[in-house]
Amino acid sequence: MTIPYALPTKRLQAARLQVVDALRGAALLGILVVHCNRWFTADALPKQLYDFHAAGPLNALVIGKVELLFVDKFYTLFSFLFGLSFALMISRSHEAPAVFYRRFLRRLCILGAIGLLHYLHWRGDILLIYAALGVLLLLFNRVSNRVVLLFGLLLALNLPVNLVRIYHGWAAPPTQSERQHRLALLARNAVTNYRTLVHGSYSDNFLANAHSFGNALNFQFGSGRIYQTLGAFLIGLYAGRRRIFQYATEKQALFRRFAFFAVLVLVGTKALALLLTRTYGPELQASDAVRAIFRTVYDLRNVATTAFYIAGLTLLFQYWPGRWAVAPLSLVGRMALTNYLLQTLVGSLLFFGYGLGLQGTSQLWVASLLSLPIFMLQVGLSAYWLQHFSYGPVEWAWRSLTLGKMQPMRVRPVLS
């Protein structure tokens, strides 16, 4: 079997897709804002504690903006870029397909090992999920663009899970006692996790994370997050096959249409949410079936927002003022894996009990704004590092282990 997509020109092979690096950097910034807004707690927080620190107009303003602009948007963007990267790698490869597939599987195994170690330190890890789902990219690479896009959209919108929820909500809604039992269990788990994060030692947190795999898997499948991640992978694979970022300058009209259509969807979902609220009341007071409909609208809005960000940033990058403005994002994006792990290191030392212990003591608007100096630090470190080295340290280790030999790391001097 041959890989059924034409290789790009040598010029395109040699050049880094800086706009993709900028998108990676934007995704990392958005993920960081969301994590700081939740004190780097990957699980739910105790309701009374959260409500206390979320009270007041400033907290309400910041939390509302984070929810509207960041939550569930940038992890989708990060996942989209993972699928896109797979498509770019396969288009640039001169290896036989079987050789490429074996190497890609080895790459995923190493990523999975990194993700496992990361998860044991912070249970919000996404790398382990990426490594597991990445295998499916090899299977979907054998099907047509139309099938890839169809499955990508269905899964990214979480339609299978939401339709099942709507059906069960109407056909077999839970009893009041079942609902109360579920809420009590969630509340108890939130308190246990919070106490470990605030009062537990490093080893306590490590062991708690090791025992939380079952809950993490239940969340991934129960919420549909794992399906949405795969869906974003597939849309990224589709975009990479169509090579829209390699020829972004020539395809500006396409990105403008994406942005315009995304705005239309956002307006439509806002109107639909208002209609549902008028008809059935606020989401939290509605039946399970109606809440599932609200969730479907929410998922559609998130995908549309992510599409708008992708199109908008890509268009911005086509002009030198825009490229200059987002250059810091590109620096962070070139070291995306290193910077993702670095965020966990800084966040845990800031918020957890074995660090400065800001969790449960700082107002949420303050915690959210801490994301800005953290990201500025990452920009500075990335700029310094990339002056001397071609890869981030974790990227270099990942690449070397994948290829089975130490890779050159230092930037080669340019000969005049």
Residue 95 is predicted with a pLDDT of 77
Residues β-bridged to residue 410:
389
Using left for φ > 0, alpha for ψ between -120 and 50, and beta otherwise, residue 404 falls in left
Q: Output DSSP code: residue 282.
A: -
Q: Is 245 within 8 Å of 17 (Cβ atoms)?
A: yes
pTM, two decimals, is 0.92
Distance in angstroms (rounded) separating the CA atoms of residues 25 and 75: 12
State how far Cα 100 lies from the chain centre.
26
Q: Is 126 within 8 Å of 114 (Cβ atoms)?
A: no
Tokens standing for 95? 């290896």
Q: What stretches in the chain show pLDDT beneath 70?
A: 1-16, 284, 413-416
Residue 240 is predicted with a pLDDT of 96
**What would the pLDDT profile of 309-326 be if each residue is shown by its tens digit?**
999 999 999 888 888 999
Distance in angstroms (rounded) separating the CA atoms of residues 225 and 175: 26
Residue 92 is predicted with a pLDDT of 84
Residue 44 is predicted with a pLDDT of 83
Among 130, 114, 122, smallest CA distance to 39 is for: 122
What are residue 410's phi and psi, to 5 degrees? Answer: -75, 150
**What would the pLDDT profile of 113-126 be if each residue is shown by its tens digit?**
999 999 999 999 99
Tokens standing for 194? 């919070």
Q: Is 326 within 8 Å of 332 (Cβ atoms)?
A: no
Map residue 83 onto helix, strand or coil.
Answer: helix
